[in-house]
Copies of this chain bind each other. A is one copy, B any other.
Amino acid sequence: MKAATLYETGGPEKVIIEEKSIRDLKDNEVLIKVKSAALNRRDLFITYGLYPGMKLPCILGADGAGVVVKVGKDVTGIQEGSEVIIDPGLNWGENNDFAQQEFRILGMPSDGTFAQYVIVPSSNVYRKPDHLSFDEAAALPLAGVTAYRALFTRGQVQKGETVLIPGIGSGVAQYLLQMAVSVGANVYVTSSSEEKINRAVMLGAKGGVNYRDENWAKTLKNQMGSANLIVDGVGGPGFNNLIQLTAPGGRIVSYGATNGPVPNCVMPKIFFKNMDILGTTMGSPRDFENMLTLYEKYELQPMIDRTFSLDETKEALMYMGEGKNFGKIVIRIE
């Protein structure tokens, strides 16, 4: 089979498209013909060696959807020929509250979805929602389950609440927007790009501000009031503004910190408000299943920015590095 493999770090240029053999199935595993895969920033970080637990060589890719072509000996309930979507979370463990130490994401260290075929445990395979194309289904898993867990399992979002999503350019943020709007929250966003703010408003956000403006927090406060829930993947100095923007009894769910540590966190602002700061990573099998249910109930569709071929994986990763996409970058695989 053809596969996008990384033998050494150094950026997207190091990704090699090559022929690889398909290994034998273990008893509980499933072999899937990948129809579409999708990119996450994780894949880009891995090409630079900037991800914990680097182990190469490896076929990249966490997100994928396709058709089951073979099932292992112990697998029940999954038919060959089924159209499926893959949960990229491996070994979450028994407790829905947190992932066990053995938790890994598909596509480093284990071989991922940027290939004609991928092997995953049968418990990671779900029926593809009928209203989604393979491209759309492939765009959903990693960012979608992260957003679902952050917004619902951890954030407990309620209809009519004011929800702030900083950094609306990211993949997870766009799923947050889509899900929060679908359940009737009043959503506000921040971005460094006026265009992305406008796109968010077209997708149902009530408003947004450019965080490059010096007084963004004050402007946002005037526009939005206080937020009942903030779902943040940015961290950094701006996190202290988010604490200020939280309503009494409100909560901030943190799933990332692309802007680094939070300097000088003033606890009284947190405790006088009786507010919560809730950490979350990726999502459990239950979160993945509940996310699919939500997508079917509201017939939500992942946003796709652009599609590449498997041969163009390198170019797709470089395009992601430019940060101009709004919506997922998909790799369509023949």
Residues of chain A touching chain B, judged by Cβ–Cβ distance below 8 Å, are 95, 97-100, 154, 235, 239, 248-249, 254-257, 261-268, 270-281
Indicate if the CB atoms of B279 and A98 lie closer than 8 Å.
Answer: no
Chain B hits for A98, CB < 8 A: 248-249, 273-275
Rounded to whole Å, the gap between the CB of A52 and the closest CB of chain B is: 9
- Nearest B residue to A278, CB-CB: B276
Q: How far is the CB of A15 from chain B (nearest CB, A)?
A: 26
Lowest 3 CB-CB distances: which A-B pairs, in order? A271-B279, A98-B249, A97-B249
What is the oligomeric copy number?
A: 2
| Contact call B276/A271, Cβ cutoff below 8 A | no
> Contact: A272 with B279, CB < 8 Å?
yes
**C-alpha gap A24/B140 in the complex (Å):** 68
Question: In the complex, A271→B234 CA distance in Å?
Answer: 12
Which of these, B235, B274, B277, contacts A280 with CB under 8 Å? B274
A235, A261, A274 — most chain B CB neighbours (10 Å): A274
Task: Give A247's nearest chain B residue, CB to CB.
Answer: B98
Contact of A263 among B255, B263, B276, B277 (CB under 8 A): B263
A97 to B248, CA, bound (A): 8
Indicate if the CB atoms of B281 and A274 lie closer than 8 Å: yes
- What are 15 A-B residue pairs whose CB atoms fall within 8 Å in the complex? A95-B249, A98-B248, A99-B274, A254-B271, A256-B271, A257-B268, A261-B265, A262-B264, A262-B265, A263-B263, A264-B264, A265-B265, A272-B279, A274-B281, A277-B278
Docked Cα-Cα span, A225 to B53, in Å, equals 24
A267:B248 contact, CB within 8 angstroms: no
B267 touches A264 (CB 8 A): no
Docked Cα-Cα span, A98 to B228, in Å, equals 12
Could you say which of A248, A264, A267, A272 has the most chain B C-beta atoms within 10 Å of its C-beta? A267
In the bound complex, CA of A112 to CA of B262 (Å): 39
The CA of A95 and the CA of B248, in the complex, are separated in Å by 10
Question: From A272, which residue of chain B is reached at the shortest CB distance?
Answer: B281
Among A98, A255, A266, which residue has the most Cβ atoms of chain B within 10 A? A98
A180 CB to closest chain B CB (Å) equals 19
**Cα-based distance from A281 to B274 in the complex (angstroms):** 6
Q: Are A267 and B249 in contact (CB under 8 A)?
A: no
A270: contacting residue among B97, B254, B271, CB under 8 A = B254
Q: Which residues of chain B are near A263, meaning CB under 8 Å?
A: 263-265
A158 CB to closest chain B CB, in angstroms? 13
A280 near B271 with CB under 8 A, answer: yes
Query: Among the listed B97, B264, B277, which residue makes an inter-chain contact with A274, where contact means beta carbons less than 8 Å apart?
Result: B97
CB-based contact B267/A257 at 8 Å? yes
* Given A99-B274, A264-B264: 18 more A-B contacts, CB < 8 Å: A98-B248, A98-B249, A98-B273, A98-B274, A98-B275, A254-B271, A257-B267, A261-B267, A262-B264, A262-B266, A262-B267, A265-B265, A270-B279, A271-B281, A274-B281, A276-B277, A276-B278, A276-B279
